[in-house]
Structure 1
């Protein structure tokens, strides 16, 4: 009798539970068993960094240099990911191009062929895809054979880019339909890249809302937003738009997850992915995978029958090789660790879910090798001409008795950056400050090749950062750098600039050495004293923007989220500058008077 009463009670409750499942997706998600598992792998912002690169990491208690990233290594990890998981989705969140000699020489063709070989399920456009206009982007997309999605970038009828991408795709994965919408960042693309006038850009939030609803109206309840709108904007989208479950982010180059601190890295946020709630209360997860193919984002998402994520297991991985180097010899050169030390490190990372030592995919390595050989040949190609010796490199970093002016080459690079920024409308920059260590050689008279450009400016991960500063902060930035040089820091910190000039002395203490600063008034066409209270727009390289090389005040400014990284390579800016000028000589001055 008790059993019959209990059965009657259960049956009487069933209509209520079913009604809740229909009307409250959030409640159903909490109470329903997961019925679909989706395994997602993603990268973003690889910026033509096709080869592995070197980076110091803290492993097994010591700092060692490792080989990291490269698309052949990404490809091998993705191959393993697909083999070891069911229901996989592998995506790229934009900015595939611009940043290394591979793009400068091949204009995206090398990137496209390797991306095809990896066979991403979807890819969205980034702002840098438009750096060289519609024609170059169109040629890149003609080589690219993977699905391209971008809903808020709309070519006019008759544009050469018409029909090159779709707002979204619907992909059947394990018998379930998954919608994948693409979004690009608007302001930065319009103002800092070169899209044609026949391309319209629509608001990121409103467009995401429009297409999420369109997919829901089609009965799709699992939606991934592949968004190159940047982390903060993607968090906003997650909080303002219903229907989206996962947002795979690009543009901001964020390393997410405090677990990466164990390797000596500094993440931008504590969690990968970040969880927010949409307006209807459902969970939305936002993930970004750093940059330059150093890391593969991975996660396992479990959905209930209503398309709500009930469980998410993250496993983002740094992708490194199995060779480790440490500075040991008297000359300061890095030597490879012996087999015993190497074995200890490999054992320490063996069961760490956030790093993997992995070989490069052989087929992708062979494909890249073809471009590497071409790059070697094309690297000899002439860009322009240097008309006279332009001192630079380690011997000329700081003004001294043998060269009272210091690094003319650093000033020249600053001038090229200022010229390109002011002539492309990027940020309306007032002046540029650069550290001498960023510029590695003296320029000799004669033809100047691509190889020489990357010898002059070899740090391909260095991009141009623009921030607002007061005149008082500018003085402190210069004081910091000079103090760092004079008190045992690297001489490479010594500051030069364009659109700014200063006088300083070796004697004194921090805050007292810089005696005079002037900035160039482009409207009046003359130098004027800097105004301590006025706000200016300053461009620097991304290395010192982080406070490196003793640029402490600058690091504090950017830590306040003031300014933006253009992700434009200073190397490419210099190349484009020389192409336009055809030949260049020594600047009239280094803009520095330093009493040593």
Structure 2
């Protein structure tokens, strides 16, 4: 009896403890469910094969300081630190990993893929430039990429080489919570300016967003991120028109968001990082973009209530800086290495600033990049094609003169390459192109023309092709501005050269009176015709002068007031592809400029 009593007592105690344990776990879950869920998101976009750190001048502690910035090894180290210092992390890339530097020209995205794999992004969405070299090159890039690729509105036909290379969305289990991440591509720009195969179908961005948000919600998922290369303005529109999205991580427009970045002498694309929008259902949606070229990483700490609504969001975008080089201007205005005291003051100012961070390069990524840098150095000596004769360019040939009446024929040749490429790819139905002589840095010598020489000729890899609509009258004024700036002490680099457009001008006179004749090429009639002052034309130029730099004030005003389209195609890549296509190039038949000096 005693044994039976003790056995019963033991069972009773065990049962009681088990019940207490269950109740305790219920209570823990109840407490946990009443607590906000914290999600930490780090993101980049549009690194465009800018794998190495680059030099930039920022205003820090009241001084112009030239220092190293960005590079994927630095991005990788910051992401490693981010994962270590935060719980429940997601690392996202909003597209346009490729196109823009010699790394892409030589390795077609494989170098990018290998570094991205080491960083181990949780998701990557397709950008328009992923399609620049067609389906086959993209397929090889995606095969090398070992991270999840998502795009909801790009649909390959059955049997396409790209079939199965990505999914519309992924569902990530983060800290016990399911997070839906939908990929999105910019449609118009990809179709018109890149080279997707005919076996690729594109769905409207808003239509796709609504479809896949519902699909995720039907699975009970109430925390949804749109990883979208649709561009900032389109992403704001999506936030305004589609309910159920909590965060949109944006790419394509290369916007540096946040008014606080103006103090470093940088141009911003929007006042707020992130932008808060109210969805049709009355819930908050946040739109964030992280500039470009691996210079900056966006960091967001979001807290969700049990309904999946963000109740609190803390933003920490950071410029990623090196500390090996600090150059400042001396009393004579020349750049010199900062003194020990100056460097200490700069470092102290950076340490106090939440948007600036000194980050060491990740060793694993740097070793991998070193291997590609070595190959790039060797491959840079490879020939792109042949040049038949000397083609004048560089600073001594910017403005036509008695010694060289045709001026920078090298600039004219680059403009011809751009016009041919843009018209053959259908980029915005371009009528003519215009460029500044200062963008083309050297005379092109006869013989083999190497990759290294291409990037010496056109070194400004951040300078991309920009298209916009102008009237004939505005075009004449743009030429007047540029010539006046070149002749009156601004910079001879502003002197304008074009293709599909030609003009006559005189050195004598004043602003508004020097250009005496302007003609454009009528491609349908196959002849030159006078420019029509009232007609609208599609102009292609570079993003630098489109922003009003180098004396192009009228052009900058038009861009500011009416906008345009940055294709993010580099003139360096365009010229390399053009020479490879033709195999051999000589001087243009004639300059498109007749200048009375």
TM range (shorter): over 0.9
- Identify the residue that residue 271 of structure 2 maps to in structure 1: 270
- Identify the residue that residue 550 of structure 2 maps to in structure 1: 549
After superposition, residues 489-568 of structure 1 pair within 5 angstroms as 489-568=490-569
- Identify the residue that residue 388 of structure 1 maps to in structure 2: 389
* Aligned counterparts of 1:568 and 1:97: Cα–Cα separation in 2: 11
Q: Find the residue that maps to 1:39 and give its secondary structure.
A: strand
User: CA contact under 8 A between 1:34 and 1:310: conserved in structure 2?
Assistant: no
Shift of 1:561: 4.0
- Identify the residue that residue 172 of structure 1 maps to in structure 2: 173
User: CA contact under 8 A between 1:430 and 1:536: conserved in structure 2?
Assistant: yes
User: CA contact under 8 A between 1:398 and 1:494: conserved in structure 2?
Assistant: yes
**One of 322, 325, 335 as aligned partner of 2:327:** 325
User: CA contact under 8 A between 2:157 and 2:163: conserved in structure 1?
Assistant: yes
- Identify the residue that residue 53 of structure 2 maps to in structure 1: 52
Over 3 Å counting, the alpha-carbon distance change for 1:402 and 1:161 in structure 2 is: same
The yes-or-no answer on 1:215 pairing with 2:216 is yes
* 1:144-171 alpha-carbon deviations (Å, 9 max, x no partner): 0000010111111111111111111110
* Aligned counterparts of 1:510 and 1:302: Cα–Cα separation in 2: 58
* Aligned counterparts of 1:300 and 1:347: Cα–Cα separation in 2: 26
* Aligned counterparts of 1:522 and 1:359: Cα–Cα separation in 2: 53
- Identify the residue that residue 98 of structure 2 maps to in structure 1: 97
* 1:549-594 alpha-carbon deviations (Å, 9 max, x no partner): 0111111111124210001111010011001111010112221111
* Aligned counterparts of 2:128 and 2:344: Cα–Cα separation in 1: 42
User: CA contact under 8 A between 2:64 and 2:329: conserved in structure 1?
Assistant: no
User: CA contact under 8 A between 1:464 and 1:570: conserved in structure 2?
Assistant: yes
* Aligned counterparts of 1:504 and 1:436: Cα–Cα separation in 2: 16
Shift of 1:256: 0.6
The yes-or-no answer on 1:476 pairing with 2:477 is yes
Q: Find the residue that maps to 2:588 and give its secondary structure.
A: coil
Shift of 1:389: 0.4
* Aligned counterparts of 2:376 and 2:561: Cα–Cα separation in 1: 40
Shift of 1:266: 1.5
* 1:380-415 alpha-carbon deviations (Å, 9 max, x no partner): 111110000000011101112221211000000000
* 1:189-220 alpha-carbon deviations (Å, 9 max, x no partner): 11111111111111110111111111111111
Q: Find the residue that maps to 1:573 and give its secondary structure.
A: helix
TM-score using structure 2 length: 0.93
Q: Which consecutive residues of structure 1, in runs of 5 or more, have no partner in the other structure?
A: 1-31
* Aligned counterparts of 2:284 and 2:496: Cα–Cα separation in 1: 48
* Aligned counterparts of 1:418 and 1:97: Cα–Cα separation in 2: 23
* Aligned counterparts of 1:400 and 1:219: Cα–Cα separation in 2: 72
* Aligned counterparts of 2:118 and 2:99: Cα–Cα separation in 1: 20
The yes-or-no answer on 1:347 pairing with 2:358 is no
* Aligned counterparts of 1:34 and 1:125: Cα–Cα separation in 2: 35
Shift of 1:335: 2.2
The yes-or-no answer on 1:416 pairing with 2:435 is no
* Aligned counterparts of 1:305 and 1:51: Cα–Cα separation in 2: 42
* Aligned counterparts of 2:124 and 2:65: Cα–Cα separation in 1: 34
* Aligned counterparts of 1:432 and 1:141: Cα–Cα separation in 2: 34
Over 3 Å counting, the alpha-carbon distance change for 1:209 and 1:300 in structure 2 is: same
Q: Find the residue that maps to 1:137 and give its secondary structure.
A: helix
The yes-or-no answer on 1:399 pairing with 2:400 is yes
Greater Cα offset, 394-403 or 240-249: 394-403
- Identify the residue that residue 292 of structure 1 maps to in structure 2: 293
Which runs of 4 or more aligned residues in structure 1 lie more than 2 Å from their structure 2 counterparts after TM superposition?
326-330, 332-335
User: CA contact under 8 A between 2:193 and 2:425: conserved in structure 1?
Assistant: yes
User: CA contact under 8 A between 2:73 and 2:366: conserved in structure 1?
Assistant: yes
Shift of 1:526: 1.2
* Aligned counterparts of 2:339 and 2:372: Cα–Cα separation in 1: 32
TM-score using structure 1 length: 0.93
Q: Which consecutive residues of structure 2, in runs of 5 or more, have no partner in the other structure?
A: 1-32
Q: Find the residue that maps to 1:208 and give its secondary structure.
A: helix
- Identify the residue that residue 84 of structure 1 maps to in structure 2: 85
* Aligned counterparts of 1:136 and 1:230: Cα–Cα separation in 2: 24
Give the alignment's Cα RMSD to 1 decimal.
1.2
After superposition, residues 182-221 of structure 1 pair within 5 angstroms as 182-221=183-222
User: CA contact under 8 A between 1:385 and 1:447: conserved in structure 2?
Assistant: yes
Q: Which has the larger radius of gyration?
A: 2
* 1:429-475 alpha-carbon deviations (Å, 9 max, x no partner): 11110000100110111011111111110111111000000011101
Q: Find the residue that maps to 1:560 and give its secondary structure.
A: helix
* Aligned counterparts of 2:380 and 2:335: Cα–Cα separation in 1: 27
- Identify the residue that residue 162 of structure 1 maps to in structure 2: 163
User: CA contact under 8 A between 2:63 and 2:328: conserved in structure 1?
Assistant: no
Shift of 1:507: 1.5
User: CA contact under 8 A between 1:329 and 1:335: conserved in structure 2?
Assistant: no
User: CA contact under 8 A between 1:34 and 1:302: conserved in structure 2?
Assistant: no
* Aligned counterparts of 1:327 and 1:341: Cα–Cα separation in 2: 11
Shift of 1:333: 5.5
* Aligned counterparts of 1:196 and 1:215: Cα–Cα separation in 2: 29
User: CA contact under 8 A between 1:39 and 1:300: conserved in structure 2?
Assistant: yes
- Identify the residue that residue 258 of structure 1 maps to in structure 2: 259
* Aligned counterparts of 1:503 and 1:336: Cα–Cα separation in 2: 46
